[in-house]
Amino acid sequence: MLQNVQFRWRPTLPPCLDIGEFRVSAGERVFLHGPSGSGKSSMLSLIGGVTLPERGEVRVLGTDLARLTGPARDRFRAEHLGFVFQLFNLIPYLSALENILLPCRFSPRRRAAAEAAGGSVPAEARRLAEHLDLAPALLERPAAELSVGQQQRVAAARSLIGRPQLVIADEPTSALDADRELAFLELLLSECAATGAAVLLVSHDVRLADRFDRAVALADINRAMTDADA
């Protein structure tokens, strides 16, 4: 939930975000529509706790991120959030499986949750990968050798392992072919539903919106943009 948030990258720049209120409920699937340059990245950085707002409050799962220290925000992000980006999601020198396991290396909570869900952490990773249509043989290959579609699915598995409460996907499908796009979205959404994670998907492609509980246009909630346009 964001409330009365203002944010600018540098004090000399005009604010790029000025949001009255934006909420995502637990388990809710929200589509955030925004063309590039509309402040998406800034907003995701705020929710991830990588940056802090100049003014206002960012609460994630009831925690006011501004009240946490830098390392605590990093830990919070590791424990509770999963991210999928548009492209190049994976650490190229690790295998696909090791990429999926990474959040469990950063977060004991997610490791424990993955163990509880799958018996062991690698078993849970393989189970998620299978649900996302990744052949077991692919998992041993270096991430750099996978196709873009495969990489996106590995990234999805990584964002879901250890049951984070919120999965944030930033244009996760825009690098995919049109027919793969919908298939990937289905897989992602159904796995999020299975783990009970809320989804915040950001895209410029409005055609995806009808798969979600709610669609919000960033331009409507970001007063900074309206001002700039005016």
Partner 1 sequence: MTPIPHLTWRSVLNRRLTAGLTIVSVALSVALLLGVERLRTDAREGFASTISGTDLVIGARSGPVQLLLYSVFRIGNATNNISWKSVEAVAAHPQVAWVVPLSLGDSHRGFRVLGTDRGYYEHYRYGRGRRLEFQEGKPVAELFDAVVGAEVARALGYSVGSPLVVAHGTGDVSLAEHADKPFKVVGVLARTGTPVDRTVHVSLEAIEAIHLDWQGGAPIPGLVISPADVRKFTLTPKAVTAALVGLKSRAAVFQVQRFVNDYRGEPLMAILPGATLQELWGLIGVAEQALLAVSSLVVAVGLAGLAAVIVASLGERRRELAILRSLGAGPRHVFLLLASESLLLALLGCVLGVALLYGATLGLSPWLESRFGLVVSLGPPSIHEWVLLSAVVGAGLLASVFPAWRAYRLSLADGMTVRV
Residues that bind partner 1 (CB under 8 A): 41, 44-45, 48, 50-51, 70-71, 74-75, 77-79, 83, 85, 87-94, 98, 102-103, 105-108, 158
Q: Smallest distance, Å, CB 59 to partner 1?
A: 19
* Two tokens, residue 210: 């009808």
119 close to 130: Cβ distance less than 8 angstroms: no
Q: Smallest distance, Å, CB 92 to partner 1?
A: 7
Q: Smallest distance, Å, CB 41 to partner 1?
A: 4
CB of 54 or CB of 227, closer to partner 1? 54
CB of 44 or CB of 138, closer to partner 1? 44
Q: Smallest distance, Å, CB 230 to partner 1?
A: 27
* Amino acid identity, position 4: N
Q: Smallest distance, Å, CB 132 to partner 1?
A: 18
* Two tokens, residue 100: 């999926």
CB of 109 or CB of 211, closer to partner 1? 109
Q: Smallest distance, Å, CB 105 to partner 1?
A: 4
CB of 29 or CB of 111, closer to partner 1? 111
Q: Smallest distance, Å, CB 6 to partner 1?
A: 18
* Amino acid identity, position 58: V
CB of 74 or CB of 183, closer to partner 1? 74
What is the rounded distance in angstroms from the CA atom of residue 134 to the CA atom of residue 68?
37
CB of 83 or CB of 184, closer to partner 1? 83
What is the rounded distance in angstroms from the CA atom of residue 120 to the CA atom of residue 124?
6
CB of 102 or CB of 117, closer to partner 1? 102
What is the rounded distance in angstroms from the CA atom of residue 82 to the CA atom of residue 70?
18
